[in-house]
Structure 1
Amino acid sequence: MSDINVLIRILPGNEDIGLPVKMTELASGFDLCAALTDPLILQPGERALIPAGFALAMPPNLEAQVRPRSGLAFKKGITTLNSPGTIDADYRGEVGVILINHGTESFEVRRGDRIAQLVFQTVPQISLKQVPSLDHTERGSGGFGHTGF
């Protein structure tokens, strides 16, 4: 498998945050750190957009997905909204993470805290073709739990 180059620009004032990092050799996600100026307290039920301090340039066949960190979700009830959050190949702004506190206690986010992970996925080029009808399947139009729990 060939390497795919993704360009990353650390935004001014965030040099101390550094690049997203894989915590193990075979990890699929790069940990994202909070690039907050001041600590932020997330109360139970609250959400906030946390800056990550960098911008990306990806090739057209790639997307980046912002996903929760499993440890934060399990231990503290902290996860990401709009999960996975999609960063399109043509977006050049600062990457941000929408965190929500589903826990029962307040949670402090500090500069440099690992708050989410970034996973890259290839995106096929799709052409939609309008047709007057679709083929029939055993499932048909059944959805949203139609086969039980």
Structure 2
Amino acid sequence: MVEIEIIALQGCEDLLPSYAHPTDAAVDLRCSEDFSLESMERKAISCGIKIALPQDWAGLVLPRSGISLKRGVTVLNAPGLIDSGYRGEIKVALINFSKERQSFSRGERIAQFMAVRAEKIKFLPSLTLPPSDRGEEGFGSTGV
């Protein structure tokens, strides 16, 4: 388990992220104010919190399947990436793909947040790559 320092912004103490079930992989993020999204509209929605991820960790902001399927609202840049050095308010870029306006009330769960290890990458220049079963087969190579 990773420990993450968190600050609830003034008036948002009741919006701390939480797991819906003990076995969930991600916590729910809640909106800090009422808002609406028109069809095809996108907005950055405030969650009322700031966090300090440990070095070599990152945060992923993911869609909630329920509002994606039932309401057509999803995280625009899924997954959203939060670097360990970011200290600003957590916001979620949402888009409404439905044909109707979608309204949300303060405190509604709008996305999920998962902390993941972010190992540094060292690229090793090479003229060839080791063989694999897949090779260079890409988009749709295993069927549609």
Question: TM-score by structure 2 length?
Answer: 0.90
Which residue number in structure 1 is paired with residue 85 of structure 2?
90
Select the residue among 9, 12, 18 that pairs with 2:10. Answer: 12
The residue identity in structure 2 corresponding to 1:23 is A
The secondary structure found in structure 2 opposite 1:60 is: coil
Question: Distance in 1 between the 2:93 and 2:113 partners?
Answer: 13
Which residue number in structure 1 is paired with residue 23 of structure 2?
26
The residue identity in structure 1 corresponding to 2:8 is I
1:29-68 to structure 2, matched below 5 A, reads: 29-36=26-33, 39-68=34-63
The secondary structure found in structure 2 opposite 1:50 is: strand
Cα 1:21/1:138, change in 2 over 3 Å: closer
The residue identity in structure 1 corresponding to 2:23 is L
Question: Distance in 2 between the 1:83 and 1:63 partners?
Answer: 14
Which residue number in structure 2 is paired with residue 76 of structure 1?
71
Give the conservation status (yes or no) of the 8 Å contact 2:15–2:32.
no
Q: Which moved more, 1:103-112 or 1:48-57?
A: 103-112
Q: Offset at 1:92?
A: 0.8
Runs of at least 5 residues in structure 2 that lack an aligned partner in the other structure: none
Which residue number in structure 2 is paired with residue 120 of structure 1?
115
Cα 1:40/1:144, change in 2 over 3 Å: same
Runs of at least 5 residues in structure 1 that lack an aligned partner in the other structure: none
Question: Distance in 2 between the 1:123 and 1:18 partners?
Answer: 26
Report sequence identity in percent: 37
The residue identity in structure 2 corresponding to 1:52 is C
Encode CA deviations 1:108-147: one digit per residue, 9 max, x unaligned: 0222111111111122232111123323445333312234
The secondary structure found in structure 2 opposite 1:71 is: helix
Encode CA deviations 1:23-80: one digit per residue, 9 max, x unaligned: 11111111111012xx322111111110111111111121111111111111111111
Question: Distance in 1 between the 2:35 and 2:47 partners?
Answer: 14
The secondary structure found in structure 2 opposite 1:133 is: coil
Which residue number in structure 1 is paired with residue 128 of structure 2?
133
